């Protein structure tokens, strides 16, 4: 995937024509037709999308291509092609929600309602962490003049791998990650975590977690042999010093029956893609206790595409009942919303549709059109 690497003269959109606009509760799609991929991408590069949950789609004989707030992508599975360039204003314009330099919405980094960080904001300092803001449409707020600037206009897309902290483009002042307090989808938690000098990391608590996963921060290795770990006769407890947790899990066969799905949930939320892939291949979700974790992975906005593809294959190995449950979680059908953002759900459905066996395609479409119940 390239970072704003296309030529300046490839903005021609010959042969691309508007067809219609589709709207639902989650998004707006402006659908076009085009003669080929080249024309589609040229058109998409020249038509900025400045808001969340709005998409330009171009249908071509070579496949369908789209643009949203962040990417140009392939519609079939949501695979990003490149970061979308953002035209610059001649002078900054103050806004409480939009970048002063391009007018694109700055998506706040959400802080969990039950965050234990005494109200402070997690600061993104390393290059990899800052790059996460590019992938989610995030940005910064100046501590001095209060202007917002998105991650793209802050220069991260052209940083060439150099770790640095952006500064305000208007006054040169220090900036903070733009954030808001509120519910956080489980799929985001811990994804930007990095190992320490002991090859360990701390997964944060999950606002929607329970005794099997996410009720408290958890210290885990960055690298682990998942098949060997899960083959142990006695799996370790997640929080052995927590009396409430230990009372729920119990001991003996009951405990081991709960600890295995507990650790599968941990590995499916792990920020190391190798750990996630090992789990999907050696111990894929196969019970009601691990299906929410599969939905979290499918809906993750920053999980690697090849990991999501493996998760989609794991989904189609499920029976109809468990697959339907996972799909209901993904689509927030039920009493408790899942918290996934619309674009991530859209991309997850694209991966599922691509991996769908022909004999289950009809069943899949019926489920998508079904009522909102669990």
Question: 3-state DSSP call for residue 57?
Answer: strand
pLDDT at position 127: 57
Structure tokens at 365: 């479409």
15 burial via Cβ count (<10 Å: 0-12, 13-18, 19+)? middle
CA-CA distance, 144 to 259, in Å (whole number)? 49
pLDDT at position 374: 41
Which residues have a Cβ under 8 Å from the Cβ of 198 and sit 6 or more positions away?
Answer: none
pLDDT at position 373: 46
Nearest Cα neighbor of 279 from 220, 321, 328 is: 220
CA-CA distance, 24 to 113, in Å (whole number)? 29
CA 371, 333, 193: angle at the middle one, nearest 5? 155
CA-CA distance, 16 to 42, in Å (whole number)? 10
Nearest Cα neighbor of 339 from 207, 202, 184 is: 184
pLDDT at position 13: 64
CA-CA distance, 175 to 140, in Å (whole number)? 6
Q: Are 200 and 221 in contact (CB under 8 A)?
A: yes
Quick one: which H or E segment has residue 110?
strand 109-111
- How do the pLDDT tens digits run along the chain, 374 residues long? 333 433 333 444 679 999 999 887 667 889 999 999 999 999 999 999 999 889 999 999 999 999 999 989 888 767 788 889 999 888 899 999 999 999 999 988 765 444 344 444 444 445 555 677 888 888 999 989 999 999 999 887 665 545 467 889 999 998 888 877 554 454 454 554 567 777 888 887 775 667 787 878 888 999 999 999 999 889 999 999 888 888 889 988 889 999 999 999 999 999 899 999 999 999 999 899 999 999 999 998 778 889 999 999 999 999 999 999 999 999 888 655 677 877 788 889 999 999 999 999 999 999 988 765 44
Predicted structure pTM score? 0.56
Dihedral-angle region of residue 161 (phi above 0 means left; psi in -120 to 50 means alpha; beta otherwise): left
pLDDT at position 4: 40
Q: Regarding beta strands 139-142 and 175-177, do their DSSP bridges make them parallel or antiparallel, or are they unpaired?
A: antiparallel
Helix, strand and coil in the chain, % to nearest 5 = 30, 15, 50
pLDDT at position 244: 81
């Amino acid at each position: 995937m390239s970072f704003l690497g296309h030529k300046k003269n490839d903005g021609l959109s010959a042969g691309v024509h508007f067809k219609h606009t589709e709207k639902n509760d989650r998004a707006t799609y402006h659908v076009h037709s085009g003669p080929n991929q080249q024309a589609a991408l040229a058109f998409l590069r020249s038509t900025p999308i400045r808001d969340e949950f709005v998409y330009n789609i171009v249908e071509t004989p070579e496949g369908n291509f789209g643009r949203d707030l962040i990417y140009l992508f392939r519609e079939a599975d949501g695979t990003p092609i490149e970061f979308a360039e953002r035209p610059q204003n001649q002078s900054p314009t103050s806004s409480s929600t939009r970048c002063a330099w391009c007018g694109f919405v700055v998506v706040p980094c959400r802080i969990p309602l039950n965050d234990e960080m005494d109200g402070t904001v997690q600061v993104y300092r390393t290059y990899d962490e800052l790059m996460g803001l590019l992938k989610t449409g995030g940005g910064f707020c100046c501590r001095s003049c209060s202007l917002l600037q998105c991650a793209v206009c802050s220069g991260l897309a052209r940083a060439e791998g150099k770790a640095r902290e952006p500064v305000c483009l208007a006054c040169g002042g220090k900036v903070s990650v733009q954030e808001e307090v509120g519910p956080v989808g489980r799929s985001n938690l811990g994804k930007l975590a990095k190992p320490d000098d002991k090859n360990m990391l701390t997964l944060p608590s999950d606002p929607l977690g329970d005794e099997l996963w996410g009720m408290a921060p958890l210290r885990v290795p960055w690298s682990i042999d998942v098949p060997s770990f899960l083959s142990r006769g006695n799996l370790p407890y997640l929080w052995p010093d927590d009396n409430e947790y230990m009372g729920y899990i119990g001991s003996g066969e009951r405990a081991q029956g709960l600890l295995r799905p507990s650790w599968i949930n941990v590995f499916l939320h792990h920020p190391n893609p190798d750990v996630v892939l090992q789990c999907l291949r050696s111990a894929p979700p196969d019970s009601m206790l691990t299906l929410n974790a599969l939905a979290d992975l499918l809906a993750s906005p920053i999980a690697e595409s090849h990991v999501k593809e493996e998760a989609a294959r794991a989904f189609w190995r499920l029976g109809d009942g468990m697959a339907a449950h996972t799909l209901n979680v993904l689509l927030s059908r039920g009493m408790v919303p899942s918290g996934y953002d619309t674009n991530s759900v859209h991309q997850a459905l694209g991966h599922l549709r691509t991996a769908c066996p022909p004999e289950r395609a009809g069943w899949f479409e019926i489920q998508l059109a079904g009522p909102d119940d669990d």
